[in-house]
Amino acid sequence: MSYLVLARKWRPKTFPEVVGQQHVLRALINGLDQDRLHHAFLFSGTRGVGKTTLSRILAKSLNCEQGVSSTPCGECQSCQEVDAGRFVDLIEVDAASRTKVDDTRELLDNVQYAPSRGRYKVYLIDEVHMLSTSSFNALLKTLEEPPPHVKFLFATTDPQKLPVTILSRCLQFNLRRIELEQISVHLATILKQEDITFEADALTALARAADGSMRDALSLLDQAISFGAGNVTAEHVHQMLGTIEQQQLFHIVTALINQDGKTLLQQSQELSLQGRDFNLVLNALLALLQRLATLQLVPDLEMTDEDDSEKLSLLSSQISPESVQLLYQIALHGKRDLPFAADPKSGFDMTLLRMLSFQPKKITTSIRDTDTASPLTEVQQPITPAVQPVSESKPHIEAIEPKKEIYHVQEATPEVVTENIKAEPISNTALSVDNWTSTIANLKLAALSRQLANNCAFIKFDSTKIYLSLAPELAHLATDKAKERLALALQQHLNSTVSVVIEHNDAQHQSSQTLATQQAEHETSRQQQAVESIHNDSTVDAIKHAFNGQVIESTIKPID
């Protein structure tokens, strides 16, 4: 198969094709178009972020036979020679191999001569910090009085090592690592044009492994294409990288939440069969726990649009922030101790078992809220305080709510009371235990208020106040913002002024249905059905016998 490696085939040939580094592009494009290009640029940044690519495009822009501009034609001989990497006036030097002063002198002696073919000579000196002091001095002389036909592009991974005299004569740019999202989008574009099928998760994993370098991403993609025989699937990529699929991580954390030791060890066994590197698995687990903790403790932070954000907020509602911290600590220790374990798998198993043993027996009920000062949170919408004065409803509240004394009864101002009396009371049956989950399922709610609503169980509705219960360990979901939004959505739904009272009462909560538990039950039964149908499938059975195979249950996914 004649095959040009992707990094070469897809090397950007024009400025707009370059991914990332917008700040550098803008300076180069403006300089070129206004014909005021600085004579020396210093690019600091790691490998594979575009230094050579930029200097090639710059060489073309300066030497295109159609004239100097930021949009070289790409057709003329000069443009084509630059693209092919054989343009005589683009001089690439690796300073790491030419550190002697004589080398630099020889190079700089030639600077004086006019370019052979084009208008400008473009020097790209890579790893420029490796030059010796005397080489720097020779270079400095040139930089002080640069010939008009010369442009210098210096690249370095370590700008601190450059003399200040050199630095002060360059326009400095820090080439950034290219963002994960930008890399995966670029990979997707390439694969579409190459007509190669792929899974989005696979590209995310490749982009993550490339760590900001587009060149590394493309060479990993090359490997993935040959590894998967022309198909880029998440499974192949994870196998190739020795990393772990996000889905498997979710299985592990879910098993920890459910105190399901059997599934936990099965997951570990699968990872071992798949040849995963347990150090990388622990890294991935740490990253997931960190995202969970961020979501729980700084919920107002903009949530990323990654595909798994919904799954993540579901997990965050099933585990307390303290437990996440504990699991993180154990994973960190597990990683540290991994080299000392008899073998990586047993080290990983022990880490999981430690997580299991340090978890409270049943995570969803174990954390009791003993703080009587704040077991009840109340959201006041403008007119609500006047609810309490309705005297006959009070015994009713006491009958339902044993912790009555902890209610924060707000002082009602006279104005508010008047206004409330005017408000049309609506039927108490507008909201009930029976229609609670279907009602909130249809409410328009954003991520965090949605999580709050889904995890609240209905207690009662007295025409102006909606009493809800939330498990104490999920108290972090009841942020002021989330409560406000839920109250507002319910007001719009009922077309009446209502307030929401959220109570953290465990006993109460256990007995009532929330949308989250309903959905979880539904998902579990769908999964069970899917697993059953695979086990009862005669074709699967035949394949198992023919190849002496086994079904990996966690990879079964229900489809609609």
Residues that bind Zn ion (CB under 5 A): 64, 72-73, 76, 79
For residue 499, the SS3 value is strand
- Whichever of 37 and 79 has its CB closer to Zn ion, that residue is 79
3-state SS string for 153-210: EEEECCHHHCCHHHHCCCEEEECCCCCHHHHHHHHHHHHHHHCCEECHHHHHHHHHHH
For residues 369 and 130, what is the distance between their CA atoms, to the nearest angstrom? 62
Smallest distance from Zn ion to CB 120, Å: 13
Smallest distance from Zn ion to CB 138, Å: 33
For residue 469, the SS3 value is strand
Smallest distance from Zn ion to CB 252, Å: 55
Residue 132 main-chain phi, psi, to 5 deg: -80, 170
- Whichever of 73 and 257 has its CB closer to Zn ion, that residue is 73
**E strand or H helix at 44:** strand 40-44
Smallest distance from Zn ion to CB 119, Å: 12
Smallest distance from Zn ion to CB 11, Å: 17
Nearest-5° angle of CA 389, CA 391, CA 392?
Answer: 145
For residues 464 and 432, what is the distance between their CA atoms, to the nearest angstrom? 13
- Whichever of 68 and 520 has its CB closer to Zn ion, that residue is 68
- Whichever of 79 and 214 has its CB closer to Zn ion, that residue is 79
| DSSP structure class, residue 116 | S
How far is residue 61 from each of residues 79, 90, 404, measured CA to CA in Å? 8, 12, 77
Smallest distance from Zn ion to CB 73, Å: 4
Q: Is the dihedral of CA 440, 445, 449, 450 positive or negative?
A: positive
**E strand or H helix at 461:** strand 457-461
> Which of 138, 158, 144, 178 lies closest to 43 in space, CA to CA?
158
Asked whether the beta carbons of 469 and 512 are under 8 A apart, the reply is yes
Smallest distance from Zn ion to CB 75, Å: 6
- Whichever of 60 and 485 has its CB closer to Zn ion, that residue is 60
Smallest distance from Zn ion to CB 10, Å: 20
For residues 330 and 190, what is the distance between their CA atoms, to the nearest angstrom? 41
Asked whether the beta carbons of 308 and 316 are under 8 A apart, the reply is no
- Whichever of 18 and 453 has its CB closer to Zn ion, that residue is 18
Alpha helices by DSSP H, 319-464: 321-337, 344-358, 363-366, 393-400, 414-422, 436-441, 447-455
For residues 376 and 378, what is the distance between their CA atoms, to the nearest angstrom? 6
Write the CB contacts of 546 (distance below 8 Å, at least 6 apart in sequence).
Answer: none
* Six token digits for residue 521: 């039950």
> Which of 109, 132, 134 lies closest to 123 in space, CA to CA?
109
- Whichever of 63 and 246 has its CB closer to Zn ion, that residue is 63
Smallest distance from Zn ion to CB 168, Å: 34
Asked whether the beta carbons of 154 and 40 are under 8 A apart, the reply is yes
- Whichever of 67 and 414 has its CB closer to Zn ion, that residue is 67
For residue 458, the SS3 value is strand
**E strand or H helix at 54:** helix 51-63
Asked whether the beta carbons of 41 and 166 are under 8 A apart, the reply is no
- Whichever of 73 and 356 has its CB closer to Zn ion, that residue is 73
Smallest distance from Zn ion to CB 82, Å: 9
Smallest distance from Zn ion to CB 43, Å: 24
- Whichever of 79 and 490 has its CB closer to Zn ion, that residue is 79
- Whichever of 87 and 458 has its CB closer to Zn ion, that residue is 87
Smallest distance from Zn ion to CB 84, Å: 13
DSSP-assigned beta bridge partners for residue 248: none
Smallest distance from Zn ion to CB 49, Å: 26
- Whichever of 76 and 171 has its CB closer to Zn ion, that residue is 76
10 Å CB burial of residue 430 (0-12, 13-18, 19+) is: middle
- Whichever of 74 and 242 has its CB closer to Zn ion, that residue is 74
